[in-house]
Amino acid sequence: MSYSVAVVGATGAVGSTMIASLQEQGFPVSQLHLLATARSAGSEYAWNGQMLKVQDIESFDWTGVQVALFAGGEIASEKLVPRAKAAGAISIDNSASFRMHADVPLVVPEVNPEALRQHQKIIANPNCSTIQMVAALKPFLDLGLKRVTVSTYQSVSGTGKDAIEELENLTRAWARGEQAGHKVYPAPIAFNCLPQIGSFLEDGFTGEERKMMEETRKILSLPDLRITATCVRVPVFYGHSESVHIELERPCTVAEAEERLSKMAGVQVQKAGPGPTPLQAAHQDDVLVGRIRIDPSVENGLQFWVVADNLRKGAASNAVQIACKMLEMKLL
């Protein structure tokens, strides 16, 4: 059986990667609808040997669509996901709009696939940094995960195409000895680090940090997990990196940690060398883990370095993997 699939935000960085991922993962598509705003309507994308035109999302008729992949941002999702649901489609949404709704599964297929059985036509794709971290945390749950401290180093592609272009322009201007303005971030991102992703909240955390903490608790079904995060934007085009420190109830050696992570689906372990880099993670769906070592500052502590392609595993590929997992579980 094949399915009628719609991709919302098809012309953006995540949406276009979703289109590629549908082909790469072999999801059975009978009809593909590419949807975007009126500004992008009419542009064409290659799909299975034919050219498909992007349609205006506002005038699109959802009748007959079975699976909808949303990559259009929170405003679009809040408006359009209910339309898709009313027409009978299952929506897999990449925005933050529904992630913390009690009746919406928040899913990383390798980590908590059983949550999909509770869906009511809407499944949320987690935050990009959350996805790669929980994939690395899952192998240690049976040892009693007590506490997580994470610092992220997130690429500009997580912000979008305008941020990618701004980093390019600032870098070229610097090489020419010229000045260039910045609009996307509150300070120039080239050759810089910005310890703010999202708006600041009353408690001093940012929205991105709050997402990581709350989403991790939900995905791992650990509502009382002690977790804290610091999220930093860095001048890297693609790929998010994380320094993760965990405290366990029971001890775990480095060799055992490596073995546990090696057995985790979708995770590659690097046992030697300086540790995986964003360039190594680019254009693949696996989460790369290295620099695994004992954290001597706490009892039963481990620390490691986690890297993934934020547009793929952190967004588009995870959404398509959810659809594939639902097919495997006979939930479509």
Domain ranges of the chain: 3-127+315-328, 130-310
CB-based contact 31:60 (threshold 8 Å): no
pLDDT at residue 136 in the model: 98
Q: Is 128 a catalytic residue?
A: yes
pLDDT at residue 253 in the model: 98
CB-based contact 131:212 (threshold 8 Å): no
Give 147-163 pLDDT, tens digit per residue: 999 999 999 999 998 99
Taking the CA atoms of residue 296, residue 297, residue 302 and residue 308 in that order, the dihedral angle to the nearest 10 degrees is -120
Q: Which of 128, 231, 252, 324 is catalytic?
A: 128
Q: Which of 119, 231, 240, 252 is catalytic?
A: 240
Q: What residues have CB less than 8 Å from 292, skipping those under 6 apart? A: 254, 257, 258, 261, 269, 271, 302, 303, 304
Strand partners, 294: 302
CB-based contact 225:216 (threshold 8 Å): yes
Q: Fold for 130-310, please state it.
A: Dihydrodipicolinate Reductase; domain 2 (3.30.360)
Q: Find where tokens 């994380």 sit.
A: 242
Strand partners, 46: 51
**Residue ranges for the chain with pLDDT beneath 70:** none
Query: What strand order describes the sheet that includes 55-56?
Result: 55-56, 29-36, 3-8, 67-70, 90-93, 122-124
CB-based contact 143:301 (threshold 8 Å): no
pLDDT at residue 272 in the model: 86
pLDDT at residue 95 in the model: 96
Query: What strand order describes the sheet that includes 145-154?
Result: 226-233, 145-154, 240-248, 301-308, 287-295, 267-269
Q: For strands 287-295 and 301-308, give the pairing.
A: antiparallel
Whole-structure pTM value: 0.96
Largest CA distance in the chain: 59
Q: Is 283 a catalytic residue?
A: no
pLDDT at residue 107 in the model: 98
**Cβ–Cβ contacts within 10 Å for residue 171, how many?**
16
pLDDT at residue 273 in the model: 84
CATH class in words for 3-127+315-328 = alpha beta
Helix-, strand-, coil-residue percentages of the chain, each rounded to 5: 35, 25, 40
